[in-house]
Structure 1
Amino acid sequence: MIDHSLLRPELTLDEVRAGCELAARYDVASVCVRPADVTDAVALLKGTGVLVGTVVGFPHGGTTTDGKVAETRIAVAQGAAEIDMVLNIGWLRSGLEEGVEADIRAVVEAADNATVKVILENAYLTDPQKIAGCEAAERAGAHYVKTSTGFAPGGATMEDLALMRAAVSPHVKIKAAGGVRTLDILLAMAAIGVTRFGATATAAILDDQARRSQANTGG
């Protein structure tokens, strides 16, 4: 359920490679790397079952649709299986839902068969805007809606996740990111219906899960 996040701008290549090795060791769903790191991550994770994802229009969402499409095509050609795109936050706040939807749809089409997760960046949105963003993402054919980049003033909240789950059909999944640092938080969010989690505290979360499983089995 975890997308191990390797997006901080200051990460060295050695740190990115170590993060990929950690992801393989813990057998997480994916790593989410910076666009320039996709090729390395794909090579490092080949044969592990861990997918490689990257970001588009990150972190502010204000790049042109053509720019997002180009980023997406390059990433997919390099082996990225998942695309976490930031919708156009300013357009959404301006009430331009049709433009937001078209922006997302263009990325979905460029992604071909890759999974597309749409980041709303809820810290900047009202509840009606969050709902409108979720609805636009579903109409555009996105596979997930996601709370945050992790680089805004706030991250995932239980209230936002419940709102997002109610705003889309069961065909659209929910990803929480920003502040998912403990197993208890992850489990509480999973109970709402979240199925993916962007996290940097992956080892701590999964080590805690292993300890609890061992205690429950008396091992």
Structure 2
Amino acid sequence: MEYNKYIDHTLLAPDATEDQIDTVIKQAIDNHFHTVMVNPYWVAKVHHALAETDVVTACVIGFPLGANTTKIKVAEAEDAIDNGVDELDMVMNIGEMKSKHYDKVEADIQAVVDAGHKAGKLVKVIIETCLLTDDEITKASQIVAKTGADFVKTSTGFSTEGATVHGVELMAAAVKGTDTAVKASGGIHSAADAQAMIDAGATRLGVSHSMQVIGKE
């Protein structure tokens, strides 16, 4: 199976250099990955480099903790949109989710979804499954679907664990019958890992080891 178009080719390391960003861009273009996923600072550069290719630009919002205020998340999203981003991956307010303040969680997500959709951009919501119980994963996924977000996403890759098959299965079940899809991210290092996530219900993969996954490393 070819995984290229499932892949958001990701480089979010805080010490990522411009040369490393250039490498990721070239790999994405050469291998027809779905997106290049970077921190907001690099969006303008990536957008310019991907012009007239079949790869689009993605970035994270409220990353990696999700504890920014909603106003800041929206401003960050709007700035990325101004710089040419196509897809936004925001981090849910995890603490408020754990506190069962579901209205606040929903309002935070809704504000970013509305900002993204107003500009015609895709919005994904990272719920950080490793910090949630099974019931919380289900509830968070349902909240994400209620906002009309395009994807619910497992992980930042910066917490205690990345995507798991079990987590993806829970998310897929929770959003079944809605317009929200599932993205698995974090810990996907091989074609077998990728296939396991797809089999569990993911239709997009966040991968920093993309070349390994497609058998070119």
Report if TM-score (shorter chain) is over 0.5.
yes
TM-score tier, shorter chain, comes to over 0.9
Which of 183, 203, 208 is the equivalent residue of 1:200?
208
What does residue 57 of structure 1 align with?
Answer: 62
In 2, the alpha carbon distance for the partners of 1:2 and 1:12 equals: 21
What does residue 126 of structure 2 align with?
Answer: 119
Q: TM-score, normalised by structure 2?
A: 0.94
CA contact (8 A) 1:98 1:136 kept: no
What per-residue deviation string (whole Å, max 9, x for no partner) do you get for residues 134-180 of structure 1?
11111111000000000001110111010000011342111001101
Q: Any idea what SS the aligned residue of 2:52 has? A: coil
In 2, the alpha carbon distance for the partners of 1:191 and 1:158 equals: 9
Q: Give 1:131 shift.
A: 1.1
What does residue 212 of structure 1 align with?
Answer: none
In 2, the alpha carbon distance for the partners of 1:64 and 1:24 equals: 35
In 2, the alpha carbon distance for the partners of 1:189 and 1:89 equals: 23
What does residue 156 of structure 1 align with?
Answer: 163
Q: TM-score, normalised by structure 1?
A: 0.93
- What is the letter of the counterpart of residue 22 of structure 2? R
Trace 1:111-190 onto structure 2 (pairs within 5 A). Answer: 111=116, 112-170=119-177, 171-190=179-198
Q: Give 1:127 shift.
A: 1.1
- What is the letter of the counterpart of residue 190 of structure 2? T
In 1, the alpha carbon distance for the partners of 2:192 and 2:69 equals: 39
Q: Does 1:88 align with 2:96?
A: no
What does residue 213 of structure 1 align with?
Answer: none
The structure with the largest alpha-carbon Rg is 1
Q: Any idea what SS the aligned residue of 1:67 has? A: helix
In 1, the alpha carbon distance for the partners of 2:108 and 2:59 equals: 17
What does residue 78 of structure 2 align with?
Answer: 73
Which of 53, 57, 77 is the equivalent residue of 1:48?
53
Q: Any idea what SS the aligned residue of 1:46 has? A: coil
- State how many pairs are aligned: 209
In 2, the alpha carbon distance for the partners of 1:99 and 1:188 equals: 33
Q: Any idea what SS the aligned residue of 1:207 has? A: coil
- What is the letter of the counterpart of residue 128 of structure 1? D
- What is the letter of the counterpart of residue 81 of structure 1? D
Q: Which runs of 4 or more aligned residues in structure 1 lie more than 3 Å from their structure 2 counterparts after TM superposition? A: none
Output the aligned Cα RMSD.
1.2
Q: Give 1:24 shift.
A: 0.6
Q: Identity over the aligned pairs, expressed in percent? A: 39
In 2, the alpha carbon distance for the partners of 1:101 and 1:48 equals: 35
More displaced stretch, 186-195 vs 91-100:
186-195
Which of 23, 26, 30 is the equivalent residue of 1:21?
26
What per-residue deviation string (whole Å, max 9, x for no partner) do you get for residues 82-103 of structure 1?
0000000000000011111110
> Which 5+ residue runs of structure 1 have no aligned equivalent?
209-219
Q: Any idea what SS the aligned residue of 1:176 has? A: strand
In 2, the alpha carbon distance for the partners of 1:179 and 1:207 equals: 16
> Which 5+ residue runs of structure 2 have no aligned equivalent?
1-5
What per-residue deviation string (whole Å, max 9, x for no partner) do you get for residues 34-78 of structure 1?
100000001111111101000100000000000000001111111
